[in-house]
Amino acid sequence: MARILNIGLIGAGRMGRLHAKNIANQLSGTRLHAVADVVPEAARLCAEQNAGCLVSPDYREMLADPALDAVVICSGTHTHAEIIRDAAYAGKHIFCEKPIALTLADTDMALAAVQAAGVKLQLGFNRRFDPTMRRVYQARASGEIGAPQLLHIISRDPAPPPIAYIKTSGGIFLDMTIHDFDMARYIVGSEVQEVYARGNVLFDREIGRTGDFDTAVVMLNFANGALGTIENSRQAVYGYDQRLELLGGRGGVSAQNHFPNQVTISHAQFVRRDPPLNFFLERYVGSYLSEMTGFVDAIIDNTPVPVTGQDGRMALVLGLAATTSAREHRPVRVDEIG
């Protein structure tokens, strides 16, 4: 179909503006139709940079526009489920930043609305679209390394987010590990049946005072017998550490960090290089365009979206299981959670 897809942005913060730029400038066959944000100035600035883009004072007004084909939801987590529901009722396809919600109830409410409306919903688990992560996936999916056996994921931020954010984040397992739970399912190609999680407060007492952890480890048991471990830290002084590896029956595959350059400097005490790309916007820059391309193609070709609401639900379930496990100091079966 050669028509232009009209996309509306709900939430003009950092992620929203990034998606807006891609939609307006990089993706052919789409245009940024409108922007809504609870902060009117944010919406206005964003719309300004994209010729012909409307400003919606309220997202519901955007949803009421018959010209709109789809929405991209980048507002605060607590608004996602409600906006998904409203967008589904309005018959608009939906791309939503993770997570859908911090509770299963809200998640299931949103998914039911999507199901009933028959619109497409894609979750913003962008790391799946990263060339390095994708290559690991291909190594497993193609059989290059045989049947998956042992997975290890390292995911560390350069520094914790503001404490105000931590307080409403749902905790490390719902806010940080949730990306790794999705990656684990994607890379291994099997559902997780049980988790065992431990957390600790090792360097940030403020985080501890909120009841959250700054460091966590999760063990996973997959349906296909594979075992996995995820390590998270809210602070690795050398930057953003995103590595993973999978051992299979015919070989192993491992993903290293991405660096700002491929330069090595040798001097008397050390051979050294600059640290890895420092945070998610740099490290995963290409993936945001790829995932949006995937969303747009699914709409245009009427094919399934590459990352579904079910994927979002499963990641939340694993996050809830891990939270319970760490709190109650026991392994938790996924079917306990729902």
Binding positions for a second copy, 120-179, rule CB under 8 A:
131-132, 134-136, 139, 144-147, 149-150, 152, 154, 156
**CB 33, min distance to a second copy, A:** 16
Among positions 61, 65, 82, 231, the unique one binding a second copy when judged by CB under 8 A:
231
Phi, psi of 99 (to 5 degrees): -95, 175
The interface with a second copy within residues 178-207 (CB under 8 A) comprises 196, 198, 200-203
Q: Does 330 interact with a second copy (rule: CB under 8 A)?
A: yes
**CB 239, min distance to a second copy, A:** 8
Among positions 44, 48, 238, 303, the unique one binding a second copy when judged by CB under 8 A:
238
The residue (of 142 and 302) whose beta carbon lies closer to a second copy is: 142
Among positions 2, 118, 302, 329, the unique one binding a second copy when judged by CB under 8 A:
329
Provide the token pair at 259: 């660096």
For residues 32 and 51, is the Cβ–Cβ distance under 8 A? no
Strand locations in 4-88 (E): 5-10, 30-36, 54-56, 70-73
The interface with a second copy within residues 241-270 (CB under 8 A) comprises 241, 247, 249-270
The residue (of 81 and 136) whose beta carbon lies closer to a second copy is: 136
Among positions 2, 67, 164, 271, the unique one binding a second copy when judged by CB under 8 A:
271
The Cα 15–Cα 74 span in angstroms is 6
Among positions 174, 176, 217, 320, the unique one binding a second copy when judged by CB under 8 A:
217
The interface with a second copy within residues 14-33 (CB under 8 A) comprises 25-26
For residues 125 and 197, is the Cβ–Cβ distance under 8 A? no
Strand partners, 155: 232, 242
The Cα 144–Cα 239 span in angstroms is 31
Among positions 34, 70, 114, 226, the unique one binding a second copy when judged by CB under 8 A:
226
The Cα 111–Cα 113 span in angstroms is 5
140-169 burial by CB neighbour count: b if 16+ within 10 A, else e? beeeebeebbebbbbbbbbebeeeeebeeb
The residue (of 131 and 304) whose beta carbon lies closer to a second copy is: 131
The interface region with a second copy, picked from 2-10, 74-82, 90-98, 237-245 by CB under 8 A, is 237-245
Q: Does 38 interact with a second copy (rule: CB under 8 A)?
A: no
Q: Does 277 interact with a second copy (rule: CB under 8 A)?
A: no
Q: How many residues bind a second copy (CB under 8 A)?
A: 73
The Cα 217–Cα 164 span in angstroms is 23
103-137 burial by CB neighbour count: b if 16+ within 10 A, else e? ebebbbbbbebbeebebbbbbbbbbbbbebbbebb
**CB 104, min distance to a second copy, A:** 25
The Cα 331–Cα 322 span in angstroms is 9
The residue (of 217 and 334) whose beta carbon lies closer to a second copy is: 217
The residue (of 79 and 221) whose beta carbon lies closer to a second copy is: 221
